[in-house]
Structure 1
Amino acid sequence: MNAINMNSPTSGHGLAGRLLRPVRIGSALLAALLVLAGCSVAPTYERPSVDTPAAFKEAAPQTTVAGENGSQWKAAQPSEDIARGEWWKIFSDDSLNALEDRAQQANQDLKAAAARLGQARALTKDARSAYFPQVDAGIGATRQRQSPASQSLPADANTQPFTLYRAQVGVSYEVDLFGRVSSNVDAATADAQRSEALFHSVLLALQADVAQQYFLVRELDAALELYRGTVELRGQSLKLVQRRFDEGDISEVDVARAKSELASAQSEAFGIARQRATAEHALAILLGSTPAEFSLPARPLTRISIGIPSGLPSTLLERRPDIAAAERAMAAANARVGVAKSAFFPSLNLTGGLGYESAQLGDLFNWSSRTFLLGPLVGTALSMPLFDGGRRQAGVDRARASYEEQVSTYRGTVLNAFREVEDNLANLRILGDQNQAQDEAVAASARAAKLSHTQYREGAVSYFDVIDADRTVLQQQRVSVQLDGERARSTVNLIRALGGGWGTPVATKLSSAQ
Structure 2
Amino acid sequence: MSRLRFSARSALAPLLAALVLAGCATSPATIDPSSLPVTPTLFRESEAVAASPAAPFQAQWWKVFSDPVLDRLVDQATRSNNSVQVAAARLAQARAIAGATDANRSVQLGLGAGAVRQTDANANNRPKTLVSVGADLSYEVDLFGRLSGASDAASLDAASREALLRSTRLLVQADVAQTYLNLRALDTERAQVRDTLQAYRDTLRLTEVRFREGDVAELDVARARTEVASTESEALALDRRRAGLEHALAVLVGEIASSFQVAPAEWTTALPVIPAGVPSTVLVRRPDVSAAQSSMQAAQSRVGVAKAAWFPVFSLTANGGYAAPEISDLFKMTTRAWGVGALLSLPIFDGGRREAGVQNANAELDIALANYREQILVAFRDVEDQLSALRLLAGQSEAQSRSVASSSRATVLSDSRYRNGLVSQLEVLDAQRSELRNRRQALQVRAAQYLATVGLIRALGGGWV
Instruction: Give TM-score scaled by structure 2 length.
Output: 0.90
1:112 aligned to which of 80, 83, 86: 86
Partner of 1:467: 429
Structure 1 CA distance for aligned equivalents of residues 457 and 113 of structure 2: 63
Q: Does structure 1 residue 59 correspond to structure 2 residue 46? A: yes
Structure 1 CA distance for aligned equivalents of residues 107 and 116 of structure 2: 27
Residue by residue over 1:123-171, the C-alpha shift from the partner in whole angstroms, topping out at 9 and shown as x without a partner, is 11111212211111011023344667xxxxxxxx944443321100111
Deviation for aligned residue 1:454: 1.9
Q: Does structure 1 residue 129 correspond to structure 2 residue 129? A: no
Partner of 1:230: 196
Structure 2 CA distance for aligned equivalents of residues 427 and 61 of structure 1: 9
Structure 1 CA distance for aligned equivalents of residues 431 and 405 of structure 2: 12
Identity of aligned residues (%): 44
Partner of 2:440: 478
Q: What letter corresponds to residue 327 of structure 2 in structure 1?
A: L
Deviation for aligned residue 1:383: 0.4
Structure 2 CA distance for aligned equivalents of residues 388 and 63 of structure 1: 64
Structure 2 CA distance for aligned equivalents of residues 47 and 111 of structure 1: 37
Matches within 5 A, 1:154-193: 158-193=124-159
Asked whether the 8 Å contact 2:49–2:391 carries over to 1, the reply is no
Residue by residue over 1:408-455, the C-alpha shift from the partner in whole angstroms, topping out at 9 and shown as x without a partner, is 100001001111111110101000000010011111111112222222
Q: What letter corresponds to residue 324 of structure 1 in structure 2?
A: S
Q: What letter corresponds to residue 256 of structure 2 in structure 1?
A: T
Secondary structure, counterpart of 2:144 in structure 1: helix
Structure 1 CA distance for aligned equivalents of residues 445 and 365 of structure 2: 44
Q: Does structure 1 residue 79 correspond to structure 2 residue 27? A: no
Matches within 5 A, 1:242-253: 242-253=208-219
Matches within 5 A, 1:418-433: 418-433=380-395
Asked whether the 8 Å contact 1:180–1:338 carries over to 2, the reply is yes
Q: What letter corresponds to residue 348 of structure 1 in structure 2?
A: F
Asked whether the 8 Å contact 2:67–2:270 carries over to 1, the reply is no
Q: What letter corresponds to residue 275 of structure 1 in structure 2?
A: R
Partner of 1:20: none
Q: Does structure 1 residue 43 correspond to structure 2 residue 28? A: yes
Structure 2 CA distance for aligned equivalents of residues 241 and 374 of structure 1: 108
Q: Does structure 1 residue 440 correspond to structure 2 residue 427? A: no
Task: List 4+ stretches of structure 1 deviating above 6 A.
Answer: none
Deviation for aligned residue 1:47: 8.6
CA RMSD, 1 decimal: 2.0
Q: What letter corresponds to residue 427 of structure 2 in structure 1?
A: D
CA spacing shift, 1:314–1:47, aligned 2, 3 Å: farther
1:194 aligned to which of 138, 160, 169: 160
Which runs of 5 or more residues in structure 2 are unaligned? 1-24
Partner of 1:143: 117
Asked whether the 8 Å contact 2:184–2:267 carries over to 1, the reply is yes
Residue by residue over 1:262-286, the C-alpha shift from the partner in whole angstroms, topping out at 9 and shown as x without a partner, is 1111111111011101101110111
Structure 1 CA distance for aligned equivalents of residues 379 and 230 of structure 2: 44
Secondary structure, counterpart of 1:357 in structure 2: strand
Secondary structure, counterpart of 2:104 in structure 1: helix
Q: What letter corresponds to residue 43 of structure 1 in structure 2?
A: P
CA spacing shift, 1:407–1:303, aligned 2, 3 Å: same
Asked whether the 8 Å contact 2:37–2:377 carries over to 1, the reply is no
Structure 2 CA distance for aligned equivalents of residues 192 and 452 of structure 1: 68
Q: What letter corresponds to residue 202 of structure 1 in structure 2?
A: T
Secondary structure, counterpart of 2:133 in structure 1: strand
Residue by residue over 1:217-257, the C-alpha shift from the partner in whole angstroms, topping out at 9 and shown as x without a partner, is 10110011101101111111111111111111001111111
1:400 aligned to which of 343, 357, 362: 362
Structure 1 CA distance for aligned equivalents of residues 270 and 394 of structure 2: 10
Q: Does structure 1 residue 359 correspond to structure 2 residue 309? A: no
Structure 2 CA distance for aligned equivalents of residues 129 and 305 of structure 1: 52
Q: What letter corresponds to residue 272 of structure 2 in structure 1?
A: I
Structure 2 CA distance for aligned equivalents of residues 498 and 210 of structure 1: 17
CA spacing shift, 1:186–1:302, aligned 2, 3 Å: same
Q: What letter corresponds to residue 440 of structure 1 in structure 2?
A: R
Q: Does structure 1 residue 310 correspond to structure 2 residue 295? A: no
Asked whether the 8 Å contact 2:49–2:387 carries over to 1, the reply is no
Partner of 2:286: 320
Which runs of 5 or more residues in structure 1 are unaligned? 1-39, 66-72, 149-156, 504-514
Residue by residue over 1:87-114, the C-alpha shift from the partner in whole angstroms, topping out at 9 and shown as x without a partner, is 1111111111111111112111111111
Structure 1 CA distance for aligned equivalents of residues 31 and 162 of structure 2: 20
